[in-house]
A = this chain, B = another copy of it.
Amino acid sequence: MESAATTNHMEIVYERPVTLTDTPMHYCPGCGHGVVHRVLMEVINEMGIQDRTVGVAPVGCSVFAYNYMNVDMQEAAHGRASAVATGIKRVLPEKYVYSYQGDGDLAAIGTGETIHTVNRGENILMIFINNAIYGMTGGQMAPTSILGQVTSTTPYGRKSDLNGFPLKITDLVTQLPGAYYVTRQSVHTAAAVRKLKKAIEASFKYQPLKKGTCFIEVVSNCPSGWKMTPIEANAWMEKNMFPLYPIGDLKVPKQN
């Protein structure tokens, strides 16, 4: 530990939440997964719901989320996190249940489960990390990869005629009557992180109302998969992903 100024007489204004385990995270330097994990755990800590929360980890870089998140967790098969979360929530309707998935997991192999979970309006929070690539398996094209993006399976850039178009799955789920709250956030600046935190807070507050699914897309980075430094990656994300995946709310509950 290192600190230039002395901390005597100072008070802690930010520290690791107890809901985050001590295990150092395996993510690459600068990877957005870590930030989202932390913010999620901060909210659970601050809301005091650690003992009533069950999370579902996906297959993807965040497959080990359960090593870091200090809540009961299940690790789902690739793409099925929302089905697993459905199973949990249906038998434990009073618990807080969330799923956490990448773009390959949620928007490729898991498309059917994603659409139907939201369409049923399962009273869960779905967190969707869109980094426009398959991080874990070594940087292959994701459904959300942008046109022209070079990945290990689009070495000459994604072309719509060969590989289809970037899939805006969040826009699709927004259409579904089961969606209660849908928002798209990011974690590349302190301000963005604060907004994401509010969105997660709101989602957990909505959950006991049983009004439907809360769905949060986080437009994120993959420095390794994109072959960039974290700073470059965030800049690339702002420049190339934000126009396609604009940050902001897509559906907010009607005041009543």
- Contact residues of A with B, CB < 8 Å? 108-112, 115-116, 119-121, 143, 160-161, 163-165, 167-168, 171-172, 175-178, 210
**Cβ–Cβ contact B164 & A175, under 8 A:** no
Shortest 7 CB-CB contacts between residues of A and residues of B:
A120-B164, A111-B112, A112-B112, A165-B177, A119-B164, A111-B115, A172-B172
> For residue A109, which residues in chain B have a CB less than 8 angstroms away from its CB?
112
Question: Are A175 and B175 CB-contacts (below 8 A) given A116-B164, A119-B164, A121-B160?
Answer: yes
A111 vs B167: C-alpha distance in the bound complex, in angstroms? 14
Residue of B nearest to A168 (CB): B175
Number of copies: 2
Nearest-CB residue, chain B, relative to A147: B177
Identify A119's interface contact among B161, B165, B176, B177, CB under 8 A. Answer: B165
**Mind listing 16 A-B residue pairs with CB under 8 Å?**
A109-B112, A111-B111, A111-B116, A115-B172, A119-B164, A119-B167, A120-B163, A120-B164, A121-B160, A121-B161, A121-B165, A160-B177, A160-B178, A165-B176, A168-B175, A172-B175
User: Which residue of chain B lies nearest to A163 when distances are taken between CB atoms in the complex?
Assistant: B120
On chain B, the residues within 8 Å of A115 by CB distance are: 111, 115, 167, 172
A116 to B175 alpha-carbon distance, docked (Å): 17
Asked if residues A175 and B171 are in contact (CB atoms below 8 Å), the reply is yes
Chain B proximity of A25: nearest CB distance (Å): 30
User: Once bound together, how far apart are the Cα atoms of A120 and B143, in whole Å?
Assistant: 10
A140 to chain B, nearest CB (A): 15
Bound complex: CA A164 to CA B167 (Å): 23
Closest to A122 in B: B164
> Which chain B positions have C-beta within 8 A of A160?
121, 177-178
- Minimum CB–CB distance from A234 to chain B (whole Å) comes to 26
17 new A-B contacts at CB < 8 Å, known A108-B116, A111-B111: A109-B112, A111-B112, A111-B115, A115-B115, A115-B172, A116-B164, A116-B167, A119-B143, A119-B164, A119-B165, A119-B167, A120-B163, A121-B164, A160-B178, A161-B210, A165-B178, A168-B175
